[in-house]
């Protein structure tokens, strides 16, 4: 494990732990407040994220920003990462070996940020963090606690683009996060 952000970021620059390195344009490390109380974990970078090297900057990210604005959360106050740091081809879900290859990077980010709350965006994040036995439909909107961190699974913003009815649940789940921050 790395003691500083600089060491961690330096360790990933030339990462070749899995096959995703062969097709990436940029490693999408993470962005935001490195001392955030709330961390958001998605699944993996899309085309816009791969091009710009920043998570959640495409259509799903814009939708997430609008949801943040609606509940009074500032993007610069949270830390945002993904399970994998390189774009899976054709935006497919990361494979288990790819997620495993990035797991130490993600664990180290969590250790350095020390969030009180982690919002798991979608099934891939949920299954890789809390366990394969969890499903997003049954788990979203419910609190889970593990090693002193509170987890809130919710829909991935990309799912909201496909099914607008999920936007209501997404906002409700984010409001639960805001309420938890007040406690």
Query: Per residue of the chain (183 residues), what is the pLDDT tens digit?
Result: 899 999 999 999 999 999 999 999 999 999 999 999 999 999 999 999 999 999 999 999 999 999 999 999 999 999 999 999 999 999 999 999 999 999 999 999 999 999 999 999 999 999 999 999 999 999 999 999 999 999 999 999 999 999 999 999 999 999 999 999 987
Q: For residue 78, give the CATH number of its domain.
A: 3.40.470.10
3 belongs to a structural domain: no
What's the chain's Rg over C-alpha atoms? 15
Count of domains observed in the chain: 1
Q: pLDDT value at position 164?
A: 95
Burial (CB count within 10 angstroms: exposed 0-12, middle 13-18, buried 19+), residue 69: exposed
**Domain presence at residue 130:** yes
The pTM of the full predicted model, rounded to 2 decimals, is 0.97
pLDDT, residue 1, reads 86
Residue 14 lies in a domain: no
What's the CA gap between 68 and 92, in Å, rounded? 26
> Could you list the residue range(s) of the whole structural domain that residue 103 is in?
31-182
Residue 52, both tokens: 């710009």
């Amino acid at each position: 494990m790395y003691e500083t952000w600089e060491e961690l970021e330096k360790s990933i620059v030339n990462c070749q732990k899995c096959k995703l390195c062969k097709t990436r344009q940029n490693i999408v490390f993470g962005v935001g407040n490195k001392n955030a109380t709330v961390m958001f974990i998605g699944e993996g970078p899309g085309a816009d994220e791969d091009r710009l090297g920043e998570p959640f900057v495409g259509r799903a990210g814009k939708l997430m920003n609008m949801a943040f604005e609606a509940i009074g959360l500032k993007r610069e106050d949270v830390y945002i990462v993904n399970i994998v740091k390189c774009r899976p081809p054709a935006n497919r879900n990361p494979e288990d070996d790819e997620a495993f290859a990035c797991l130490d990077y993600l664990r180290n980010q969590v250790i350095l940020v020390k969030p009180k709350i982690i919002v798991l965006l979608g099934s891939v994040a949920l299954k890789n963090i809390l366990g394969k036995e969890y499903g997003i439909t049954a788990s979203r909107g419910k609190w889970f606690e593990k090693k002193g961190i509170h987890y809130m699974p919710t829909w991935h913003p990309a799912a909201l683009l496909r099914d607008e009815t999920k936007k209501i649940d997404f906002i409700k789940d984010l409001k639960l996060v805001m309420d938890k921050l007040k406690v």
